[in-house]
Every structure is written in C-alpha cells, then in structure tokens.
Amino acid sequence: MALTTPYYLIHENRLLNNLEKIKHIRDISGAKSVLALKCFSTWCVFDLMKQYMDGTTSSSLYEARLGHEKFGKEVHAYSVAFSKNDISQIKTFANKIIFNSTSQLNAYYKEVNGINLGLRVNPGISYSHFTLADPARKHSRLGVTDKKELLKALPLIKGLMFHFNCENDDFTNFSNALDTIGRNYGAILKKLDWISLGGGLYFTKDGYPLEAFCKKLKNFSTQYGLQIYLEPGESAITQSAELVTTVLDIVRNQADIAIVDASTEAHMLDLLIYQTPAKIEKSGKGKCKYTIAGRSCLAGDIFGTYNFNTRLKPGSIIKISDAAGYSMVKKNWFNGLPMPSIAVKRLNGKTDLVRYFEYKDFINNLS
C-alpha cells in the first residue's frame, strides 16, 4: 500500500544515534536505561531499541504488559495508584514494582512479597518549564515527601525513584540536584540496592557534556553502592520521527493560513497542551509567511507561523519534526479525522508501512 498523508515516519538511523549514546552511558558509567513507555510505545521499532536499552518502565498496567510482551528484558512497573486488579496481573511479570506512596506499599506488600520493590520520592526540587508538568509543584501527589514514612518503609523496599526532571538539558542543574539528593537522602540510599533518576534528562542533545554526565553517574553510584537507572523517553527518540502532512487549502484572513490534513488536537496534542510551536522542516527565513493550521473544528488548532522560501499551495508537503515523543501515544479520534499511518524507514533504507487506520478503527474505538 502506498503511503498517503498524514503519516508518522520514524527514521531508524536517527533513532540509532540516540541509542548509541544511551549504550555509551551504560558502558562508561554503569547506569542502565529503561524506556519510558508513557513517552513512546510504538513497538514496531522495539527490536532495534532493545539491543541498546535494558528494558522498559511504565505508568500503568497496560504499558507494563506491553513492555513485557513486546520489549522484554527488565519491566519496571510504576503507577500513581495501582488497583487490586492491576497488582494481581503485574506481579506475574514485573521485575520491579515502584509504589507512589507508603499507603499503597503497605496495602499490597503481602501480595507482591518477593518482588523487587521501590518507592517514588518527591525530593522537593525539580526542573520543568511548565507548572503542569512539575512533579514538585505545590500539593504534588507524586511521591513520598515525609522522610519518617520513608524510613519506616525501608525494610520492605530495595530502591527509590526520583523523577524530578522535565526536558532538563542543563548538566549543571542536574549535577547540583543530584548532590542535593545525596545530602538529603544519602544515609537511606546506602541501605538500598538501586536508584532510578527518572526521565526528563535531555542527555542526547547535541553538545551535551556526555562524559561529565557519565562521570557524575559513576561517582554517585560508587559513593552510595547503587545500581543507577535512567528512564529516557524523549532522550531515546528525540528527532527520530516526523508527522508528514499535505496542504489542503490556503485561506486569507489578514494573513495567509495553510490548512493541512492533520491536527494538533488529534495528532500532536502536546503542542496544544503546552502552547508550543511545531518544528517544521524546510521553513526558513524566506518572505513567504504562513500560519500552518490543522483541519479540526478547534479554532486554536494551530501548529505555528513560519517563513518559507517558496509559496505554499494545495498539495504542498509539510513535515513536522520531533513527532514521536508524547505525540504518537496521545493521538486520538477527535473530529473523526483520519488517524495518521505509521511508517518506519529502516536502517537498510527501506520504508515499511507498519500500520494503516481505517473507518473500522474509528468505529471500533467507541460503542
């Protein structure tokens, strides 16, 4: 079947660039990496990713099961709140279960006794550009804040998770935060086997001081006798995929507006949630200025305003970069718009159409 827009296109060679950095970190520092499925769950490229990563981490039963069935290796199961049904299933395949609170740990400990258990801790520090995504925001429900509760729970657990970053590409900030965690929790850490530093660390960004990062992780691991885990999501897949769209119409309302056959609301929801512009390839500093808009009925369905070197017209192709993380997992059927297909450009140069969506998928999504 021929590719028709809209479609997500994953480039394995770009993905490999990130994966090789992840492997380098493990080789030099000893820190293991588990893929954050909340960011990226497109399992058609897991055969490549699992050659470089140590497993997956999840935020729900379904993600944990997907990691177990499609990725293999280590399965870290976390949830803000597990149900009894979640626990009864997850305990059959998870290598680690990480609880968000001591109350959940105590409620389910007997049922999961024998499994490697951990707790999420809210260290009171974080790095986020958005209050919406700040895990240490006021009245945050994410993680244990009371150190006395944590000390009581120590006999039941083997590790702690500190997920306190969001798109943090500042090594100095990370280094200082890790020092703070060491000062505040060092005595506790020395009694445990592992620590997860969560995700949100943009260590695959061009120019990131990777060797200094490895040294910091190695020293921390040695100082406290811990296996360190990282939970890369965006760092694993950044710049590896694009949403390919076609211009359907050009309208004029004091500005030129190009309407494409995709939607922020349905196909790149994070752009709408955080009000950030899309990254569009081949837009430059030309004199042809267009607002790129989606075709849903939402008035604010806007990808952004860009300058192009040539004029757009119906049929022009617009490629929206960085469309893998928190986009493909959030795609939805708003307005009944056609769901983008999923294609992969393999390392050998061949492009595979791995999923095509039809009306039957739309109607079967509801009842």
DSSP state, residue 277: P
Residue 283's pLDDT is what?
62
Q: What count of Cα atoms within 13 Å lies in the side-chain half-sphere of residue 42?
A: 30
Report the 10 Å Cβ neighbour count for 351. Answer: 13
Q: How far apart are CA 260 and CA 292, in angstroms?
A: 7
Question: The tokens 């049929």 sit on which residue?
Answer: 315
Residue 284's pLDDT is what?
66
Residue 285's pLDDT is what?
75
Q: How far apart are CA 60 and CA 319, in angstroms?
A: 32
Indicate the residue type of 310.
T
Indicate the residue type of 159.
G
Residue 65's pLDDT is what?
98
Burial of 113 (0-12, 13-18, 19+ CB in 10 A): exposed
Q: How far apart are CA 146 and CA 143, in angstroms?
A: 9
What's the Cα-to-Cα distance from 199 to each of 61, 135, 336, rounded to whole Å?
19, 12, 33
Q: Is the dihedral of CA 137, 140, 146, 149 positive or negative?
A: negative
Q: What count of Cα atoms within 13 Å lies in the side-chain half-sphere of residue 46?
A: 20
Q: Is the dihedral of CA 180, 182, 183, 184 positive or negative?
A: positive
Question: Running along the chain, 367 residues long, what does each successive block of 10 average in pLDDT?
Answer: 93 98 98 98 98 98 98 98 98 98 98 96 93 93 96 97 94 97 97 97 96 98 98 97 98 97 97 94 80 98 95 97 96 97 98 97 94
Pick the closest to residue 306 from 321, 287, 325, 324 (CA basis): 287
Topology of domain 12-237 in CATH is: TIM Barrel (3.20.20)
- DSSP letters, 25-85, are HHHHH--EEEEETTT---GGGHHHHTTTS-EEEESSHHHHHHIIIII-SEEEEE-SS--HH
Beta-bridged to residue 153, according to DSSP, are none
Please state the pTM of the whole predicted model: 0.96
Residue 122's pLDDT is what?
97
Q: Is 343 helix (H, G, I), strand (E, B) or coil?
A: strand
Q: Is 283 helix (H, G, I), strand (E, B) or coil?
A: strand
For residue 155, whether the previous peptide bond is cis, meaning omega lies within 30 degrees of 0, is no
Check: CATH 2.40.50.140 for 239-364?
no
Domain ranges of the chain: 12-237, 239-364
Indicate the residue type of 305.
T
Please, are residues 33 and 232 in contact by the beta-carbon 8 Å criterion? yes
Residue 324's pLDDT is what?
96
